[in-house]
């Protein structure tokens, strides 16, 4: 089994397609795994994909903030998407990856289990997320795409940024973080 590269840069990636019309009318997504679920994010916001490295913790950060890394002089916060989506904290290993994304002037890292694929989706193939009373903020989801037997949930980076900013200011997430930090400190004592 070959080891995967620590960093993959997609800035110069040329995606194949079946003609200019197919490329013009479709959007490309990088798909990634969180447990058994598959998610996708617009390839145009992905700066790079790197292997997991330890982070520097930030005091009183929400529970889904793993900490920060120094990425060639840029301090990048790392968010645990599994924790953010209510799936529990990720226990990172060498197999986990961080998807570095940009939106405007913000750069963040998304801790995911693995990157799966690059897919091209026609706009009419994206279905709305049904109203199900989920505790996950629905602004973070752009839609669902059925691809044969698999279902890909599309993540909205703008919605994710807005939701992450709101949760960082929410006293409930700060309390959860404080409780976690307190539990970690108690366990270490």
* Residue 147 three-state SS: strand
Q: In this structure, are strands 150-155 and 37-42 parallel, antiparallel, or unpaired? A: parallel
Q: Classify domain 26-170 at the CATH class level.
A: mainly beta
Determine the pLDDT at residue 127.
93
Give Cα separations from 76 to 11, 23, 72, 105, 150 (angstroms).
18, 32, 10, 12, 32
Which of 28, 165, 23, 184 is closest to 108 using CA atoms? 165
Q: Where are the domains of the chain?
A: 26-170
* Residue 74 three-state SS: strand
| Sign, CA torsion 126/31/153/167 | negative
pTM of whole model > 0.85?
no
Q: What are the pLDDT tens digits along the chain (189 aa)?
A: 444 444 444 443 333 344 444 456 899 999 999 999 999 999 999 999 999 999 999 999 998 999 999 999 999 999 999 998 889 999 999 999 999 999 878 899 999 999 999 999 999 999 998 877 665 556 788 899 998 899 999 998 888 877 766 655 444 433 343 334 344 433 333
C-alpha radius of gyration, the chain, whole number? 17
């Amino acid at each position: 089994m070959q080891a995967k590269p620590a960093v993959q840069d997609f800035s110069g990636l040329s995606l194949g397609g079946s003609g200019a019309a197919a490329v013009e009318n479709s959007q490309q997504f990088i798909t990634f795994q969180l447990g058994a679920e598959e998610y996708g994010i617009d390839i145009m916001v992905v700066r790079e994909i790197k292997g997991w490295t330890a982070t520097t913790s930030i005091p009183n950060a929400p529970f889904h903030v793993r900490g920060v890394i120094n990425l060639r002089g840029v301090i990048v916060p790392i968010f645990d998407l599994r924790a953010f989506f209510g799936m529990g904290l990720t226990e990172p290993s060498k197999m986990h990856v961080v998807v570095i994304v940009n939106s405007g002037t913000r750069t963040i890292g998304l801790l995911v289990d693995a990157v799966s694929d690059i897919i091209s989706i026609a706009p009419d193939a994206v279905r709305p997320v049904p109203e199900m009373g989920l505790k996950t903020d629905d602004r973070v989801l752009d839609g669902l795409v059925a691809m044969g037997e698999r279902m890909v949930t599309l993540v909205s980076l703008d919605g994710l940024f807005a939701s992450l900013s709101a949760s960082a200011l929410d006293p409930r997430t700060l309390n959860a973080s404080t409780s976690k930090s307190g539990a970690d400190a108690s366990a270490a004592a």
